[in-house]
């Protein structure tokens, strides 16, 4: 039951990350969610560091939007904050090999119990960042073995994730049909 609640919380958090409010200055004209696919993975975070602090994770998910933005979203196991969620976010990921997906991270999306709320839901803080996520496996086949992310925000704060799957099939949900945005490596 607790695991199911974690998954539901992560799914809700991912939808929040992909649904910025009209009041958010970076998204003035968008009022509807644009998530077209999400995947929830079981396993453990062998590394989860935020600004030099170690955390455990409750759940890891991948969210893709119609516009091409993708997030690797992590619900932290933070005893002081049940709403502590981060997302490594970037646009137009690419598949460099059949079993390797690479996402250039251009921002971190940070959520906690202290964030302002719109319609009762917290709005994540956005920190411009540079980094990369690498996912080994193939979501369409429901097989992901590892996810590795590393990013540094414009304030110099570092974020690291090493996720290892427990081997069980991932849960994939297509919210709506949209045009593909994941590109193949043109040099292969």
Is pLDDT at 172 greater than 80 in this prediction?
Answer: yes
Is pLDDT at 23 greater than 50 in this prediction?
Answer: no
- Beta-strand relationship, 121-122 and 100-111: unpaired
Is pLDDT at 98 greater than 50 in this prediction?
Answer: yes
List own/partner pairs for 144-150 with CB under 8 A and 24 or more apart. Answer: 144/39, 144/41, 144/62, 144/170, 147/41, 147/60, 147/72, 149/72, 149/88, 149/105
pLDDT classification of 33: cutoffs 50, 70, 90: low
Mapping DSSP onto H, E and C, the string for 140-158 reads HHCEEEEEEEEEEECCCCE
pLDDT, mean of residues 19-45? 64
> Closest Cα partner for 154 from 125, 133, 128, 126?
128
What pTM was computed for the model?
0.77
Least confident range of 15-24, 55-64, 142-151? 15-24
């Amino acid at each position: 039951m607790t695991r199911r609640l974690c998954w539901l919380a992560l799914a809700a958090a991912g939808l929040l990350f992909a649904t910025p409010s009209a009041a958010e200055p970076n998204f003035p004209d968008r009022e509807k969610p644009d998530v077209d696919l999400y995947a929830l993975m079981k396993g453990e975070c062998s590394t989860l560091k935020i600004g030099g602090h170690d955390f455990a994770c409750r759940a890891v998910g991948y969210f893709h939007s119609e516009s091409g933005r993708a997030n690797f979203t992590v619900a932290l196991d933070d005893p002081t904050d049940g709403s502590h969620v981060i997302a490594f976010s970037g646009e137009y990921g690419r598949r460099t090999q059949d079993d390797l997906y690479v996402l250039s991270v251009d921002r971190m999306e940070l959520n906690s119990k202290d964030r302002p709320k719109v319609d009762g839901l917290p709005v994540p803080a956005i920190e411009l960042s540079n980094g990369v996520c690498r996912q080994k496996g193939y979501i369409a086949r429901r097989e992901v073995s590892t996810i590795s992310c590393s990013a540094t925000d414009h304030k110099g704060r570092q974020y690291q994730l090493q996720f290892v799957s427990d081997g069980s099939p991932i849960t994939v949900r297509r919210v709506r049909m949209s045009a593909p945005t994941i590109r193949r490596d043109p040099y292969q």
